[in-house]
Homo-oligomer: A and B are copies of this chain.
Amino acid sequence: MASSDISSIPTPAHCTADFCLIPIGTSSPSVSAQIADVQRLIEKCGLKYVMHSAGTTIEGPWDRVHQVIGQAHTLLHRQGIVRIQSDVRVGSRTDKEQSFEDKVNKVRELLGKE
């Protein structure tokens, strides 16, 4: 693979990313105000998403999904939070398009809950 080839490799057209964002050095152990601000941002980004107690799952093109997570960092930095850490679980697959709801539903089906 020549060096020139790298820039021609695209990022995945679709991915599912679950992220948990943590503001550091905020003096308060509560982060719900910041998480609410991030939710308001995500609501406006136009991507499919769902919030749960351990993070937020977003679906969409790789670049767009990671842009939104980066914008969430910037949003909180602008509020004066100088350090932010996110844990992101991101998956891509080429065999089929599977939404995050499909994944849960498939497991529930196997469990005979549906």
Contacts and interface: CB of A to CB of B under 8 A. Distances in A.
B111 A3 contact: no
Given A10-B74, A51-B107, A103-B53, A95 B29 contact: yes
Interface in A37-72: 39-41, 44-45, 50-55, 57, 62-63, 66-67, 69-71
Given A54-B16, A57-B53, A95 B70 contact: no
Nearest to A67: B11
A36 B110 CA distance: 6
Interface residues of A, number: 70
Copies of this chain present in the complex amount to 4
A24 B93 CA distance: 9
A40 B108 CA distance: 11
Interface of A: 1, 3, 6, 9-12, 15-16, 18, 20, 22-33, 35-36, 39-41, 44-45, 50-55, 57, 62-63, 66-67, 69-71, 73-75, 77, 82-95, 100-101, 103-104, 106-107, 110-111
